A and B are shown apart, each in its own frame.
Chain A
């Protein structure tokens, strides 16, 4: 005689202080057994009021605040802000400054993908060893950043009009040596991690994101390209000097956790290709336009966007002719990418939620602003 099991749903709180929520992110899960029936994300635990703060500061004073948005990749935040302000005020930075910006942005992309892979494996249970490998290589890249700009993490280097100062003597040969080292490190990680039996069993077919759902939810970046949609802001609306380099946009068909990891590894290698070309072609010349300290752009609105390591990052600026922005709106990559979390975790188990969140690769500073 078959007995029907009487089950009850429980509500579980994966609270703001949790070892694997990538910052202060809270999820309220409704579970039936171990399977997820509903997921409600709670934001706001790192909401610092950046948009209101920047309305009281001038255009140049807002550069250190944009550093602290996505704190793992500070250089690309400043790059996006500089692109937006230059579009608004009609400034064109010199050639050498554009090449320096591209070099810094591509190093930042490699740094972010290294840390994303490391933290994904931290969530899977390989406690801390891949993170330590990633941090060892990160220290070499941070040495270069500190040499050029003076600070490891919050460099305050890329400003509207150019960059803050020229590269020091000996930077370019050192950077070329680091690029050669990073090629070997990428192959090393590939050998260790890509064919790992446990990883394949846990990640294949988990958290599948179909391409129409991805486009409808506005997802961009590696998460979108791992679902098969070929879209990159560097090709769709080219900015800076990216149209002079020869690189590919990889895509993968499946859209599960394994593909997102593999795509980050492939993008890392494409970034190394761009870096080799940029370090060879960099011209001499001035590094900044003469931009007044109190910049007063003409009245109007503009939206400037770039391809940040996590997706499309943009700034929507409204100016009323004075030296402070009237409205400073940030189009945050991770906030829009997190909108799709509920769709792709329904039906999975609790242990899978952790790795799906890790594969989307968020930073709470950008989600909450």
Chain B
């Protein structure tokens, strides 16, 4: 099943695929970041992956990675739904990382992209409302990057960084 999908992808978008890692435990394909939107539309409409489970950001020493996990939902019987397909996108630029958004293709990506922006600082171009949702604008640093050391703050230290009301 996954072999056919990889074949379809290789025929349709030969220049978008960077590599297909063999030893990965879930079927994975790495796509170039400029063509993530076309590949996503193809996978959603032609192949039938209509459920984006989550998006995760990973901070490796040489690059950022953003991982998308896709499934299908709604087929009868339930076990005939298409299994996990992991799409990875490498973001090489670590000073100004950015990536096109998929929040209009899969609306569940709207909140997940806000979360990745809050934790890593990766900007999603074309996102309608990109803001920090867990911490506030003005919090010093991007928490889940590896160069942000995990320390505790006191109330007085964070006092000057808070935004003035009203804020959300």
Q: Contact residues of A with B, CB < 8 Å?
A: 26, 28, 40, 42-44, 47, 49, 51-53, 55-56, 87-88, 211, 215-218, 229-232, 235-238, 249, 300-303, 305, 312, 314, 316, 318, 326-327, 329, 331, 335-336, 338-339, 368
Contacts and interface: CB of A to CB of B under 8 A. Distances in A.
B89 interface: no
Nearest to A48: B134
Contacts of B168: 26, 28, 40, 42
B26 interface: yes
Interface class of chain B by DSSP = loop
Nearest to B26: A303
Contact of B108 (A49, A211, A216): A216
Contacts of B25: 87-88, 300-302
10 contacts: A40-B168, A42-B133, A44-B135, A51-B144, A52-B144, A211-B74, A215-B51, A218-B51, A314-B53, A336-B111
Given A215-B50, A235-B78, A303 B84 contact: yes
B1 to A, nearest CB: 13
Interface in B13-45: 23-26
Residue among A47, A303, A336 with the highest chain B CB neighbour number at 10 A: A303
Contacts of A51: 119, 144
B106 interface: yes
Nearest to B84: A303
Interface residues of B, number: 41
A221 B122 CA distance: 30
B161 interface: no
B76 interface: yes
Contacts of A329: 54, 56
Interface of A: prevailing SS: mixed
Interface in B61-92: 67, 69, 71, 73-74, 76-79, 81, 83-84, 86
B58 interface: yes
| A-B complex: 6 closest residue pairs judged by Cβ atoms | A218-B108, A44-B134, A235-B78, A47-B134, A331-B54, A329-B56
Contacts of B110: 339
B16 to A, nearest CB: 21
A249 B107 contact: no
Given A218-B108, A231-B81, 7 more contacts: A52-B143, A55-B150, A215-B73, A216-B108, A237-B83, A300-B24, A316-B56
A201 B67 CA distance: 45
A318 B119 CA distance: 17
Nearest to B44: A216
Nearest to B118: A44
B123 interface: no
A229 B106 contact: no
A230 B76 contact: yes
